[in-house]
Structure 1
Amino acid sequence: MLRLHTACSLQVPNVRQPKTSGSNSAGLKWGLLGSGRQFQLPSLQVRALRDETNNGRGSNGGASGFTGRNWDPGLEIGVPFDQRPVNEYSSLKEGPIYSWGELSPGSFFIRIGTLWLITFTVLGVPIAAASFNPSSEPLKFALAAGIGSLFLVSLVVLRIYLGWSYVGDRLLSAVVPYEESGWYDGQMYVKPPEILARDRLLGSYKVKPVIKLLKQTLVGTGAVLVSAVFLFAFAAPVQDFFHTRFSDQSNLPTSNISKSNIRREELLSPPLDVKDNDDLAAAAAKAADGRPVYCRDRFYRALAGGQYCKWDDLLN
């Protein structure tokens, strides 16, 4: 590296008239004529010195002679500050959600699980309870709440992935677009070799591992979502299977058991005591308000046809 060494001396005389004298390789001399004498002022000397630190090499022994910054900030002066890929990467790391990408896999999945649990409790359970009864349809209720919560979490992970993917593409690309102002006057910026090497180093070792982790997370959540949707579609047959297999038949009402075993002829034929007793038959007809007795029961009504029944019979 060459360092610029500058020495300057100044002598002020009584100046009357400037006159330019010759210059040599050691510096530039100005001769001024005053009071019949010639004065020498000022004398500017410039010389280049070689950096002797490690014989012109960097602190790491490499071929670079830069001891501090390895690039010139003026190389990116044409691109606005917020649109430079390295600054976009710095802003992404400081974001409240995008910063999750730089966490370790364990910490990242803990935060994703916490987000799913909060979404399941605050949004999933109330919305699913409004659509499915937890006591009568517990499987559908749990699946609906879990699927909705996992879908929202997947959207958050997808947004993080899109942000990191965008910045990674700009870091790895040799030509990036930018806008000089808000008038959509797009320009293309070709990175110098120093800037391109720095950006690709960041993209390869900082951004690519994050994108890989986010891709794996999206694939996993997608597989779980598809499996849960298929299970939800077959939730009713599965739930009926478990009810019929594990439910205790002795807990069923005797009326339901007797109804399923009664034939149509037996339902439509009145009991013998009603046939033989006119007073009992008249009391049954009066209680039915002139309509068949089977209108009071859904099972009897469906079996008998129910064309003379009204909807109010099931409510009274």
Structure 2
Amino acid sequence: MELLGLHHVSILTGKAEKNYEFYTKILGMRLVKKTVNQDNTESYHLFYADAEGTPGTDVTFFDIPHLGKTYSGTSDISTVSLRVRNSESLLFWKERFKQYGVEQDVIQKRANRDTLAFRDFEGTRLILAADNGEKGVRAGVPWKRDDIPLEHAIIGLGPVTLTVAIAEPTVGVLTEVMGFRFVGSYPSLEGDYPEILVYATGEGGNGGEVHIETRADLPRVRLGRGGVHHVAFRVPNEKEYEQWAERLKEYRLQNSGKVERYYFKALYFREPNGILFELSTDTPGFATDEPMETMGEKLALPPFLEPNRKEIEAKLRSLILN
């Protein structure tokens, strides 16, 4: 029983229209599912991914208009990485970000990879991480756009960074409960702080890592727009999903219990520093209720919400995505 890597990250946005424009028209990702937050059906839930909605390529957003700003700190998923094929791609993206006025940093090494840090319009801290042929979790299928060559397209999720006040409790859950393994460390780029620890699962590499940053000097995060709500990890099938549900019970980790999301099954729990983790199945996927060719074009509702479509649509604000 082994987690295969990252499944998705979910982030908060206060403006879905600008969010759509940034992630599709600037970053070139595909909107593979336009649906609602199943825990609050008056709010949209948007899923961006690769061309096929492959697990491990999803960045999702809860749309909460008028949401306040995020105040960064500890107990935080502080950065989200996106994979590109090689270091040449980073040069392409530097020029593209300059063209669109996207806040960016210089190309720097993180965990022996060339990376380019940048921010979206709400301040979400993002990193492009170059594969450069390294072995590990398979990349996704690039979404074709005329203005982004396929060889430079985003091809999945890279490492997430967890910023915590004390690393040991988080490391304990990652290694003892979730089966992650320590694979190295690298110097902090923020100053004279402890080295950032790297843990991997599955085949590892760019799509299978979690990085742990210790910052005892920071206050606790206050999530708002641009903040990362949770990170999910890949469970290959429903059989292992059942086993993970039992494992969380065995370790007496308070959790959500089994949650049916229709596109995947989920388990939610908080690690000791308070960061929300999710375990999500690869199956059945986003093409369950829509043809692959037209995913994301219409409001999709899982079968248990479909009988309430008229009521749900009446309460949703108008959302025009061009």
TM-score norm. by structure 1 comes to 0.18
Higher-Rg structure is: 1
Higher relative contact order at CA 8 Å, sep ≥6: structure 1 or structure 2? 2
Greater per-residue strand proportion: 2
TM-score norm. by structure 2 comes to 0.18
